[in-house]
Amino acid sequence: MNKILVGSAKDQRNAEHEYEFTLLDFERIKNLIYKRAGITLSSSKYNMVYSRLCRRLRINGCNTFKEYLNFLERVNSSEWEGFTNALTTNLTSFFREQHHFPILEQHVKNRKNQNKIHLWCSASSTGEEPYSMAMTMVQVFKTFSPPVHILATDLDTNVLSKAESGIYPLERLEKLPKDKLKKFFLKGKGTNTGTAKVRPELRDLITFRQLNLLDDTWPIRGPFDAIFCRNVMIYFDKNTQYKILKKFVPLLSQDGLLFAGHSESFQHAADLIKLREKTVYELVKK
């Protein structure tokens, strides 16, 4: 059998790896994460997969990847969450892709006569994106109690927990302007020195919820005035992207906006959405 030797076979004791990792193991993992989360892993990711899943083997007392994957595939295995969380990437920052936020601000200003503004951050990660949206809404309405509700969802329960806490190391906030830092965060003291926490008024604008974009049904209701789905579609193939975009359509208001990541293009969904400006889409009028 062909093997990718990135594990600790007996003749590799000097290597840093603990386990032998076969090509069959990697192919099984690729298939499982695709079915579970729609993520497509290229062959260049096998070292990353190995390093991220080793801890899951240790936690579950498994001696081989084959044993772990057999355990994972058992009916109603509780390990699916740990497996999925380990393989999902959560790179984010406050006001990432800065050009989107003035667009969101103007979009909401044009709708200020509505009773309430509804926004959805569909890949919220550790919370920087929905909190950036919330800060923008406070600025638009010039109050910490704007008529706005933000739904923030993510597949990864670990990052959702961090997002809900709203606590960040100060180095994660270094790029924020000082006026925003002072206005929207409370600096930690004592045992919390070196961290800052979002103000509770900001936190109250957001509902955090676990959601898998690949699920057949989503337990949410629209319409949303804007949906942020940025830098997550790049992990899906075109067919999966189209299925997700098709489910976004009925959840967007007729003149709502869909914000995508800088490297994402949805030309294959031209019957559903069209480009309005740089990585910002609107519905195709039927």
SS3 229: strand
What pairs with residue 282 in β-bridges? 257, 274
Catalytic (active site) residue 52: yes
Beta strands 280-283 and 252-260, pairing class: antiparallel
From 71, 20, 21, select the one nearest 45 (Cα to Cα).
21
What pairs with residue 152 in β-bridges? 121, 208
The residue with tokens 């994460």 is 33
Choosing from 25, 154, 156, 225, which is the catalytic residue?
A: 154
Choosing from 28, 36, 52, 172, which is the catalytic residue?
A: 52
Rounded distance, CA 148 to CA 116, Å?
A: 6
Rounded distance, CA 169 to CA 81, Å?
A: 26
Catalytic (active site) residue 74: no
Residue 11's contacts (CB-CB under 8 Å, 6 or more residues apart) are none
Residue positions annotated with a catalytic role: 52, 154
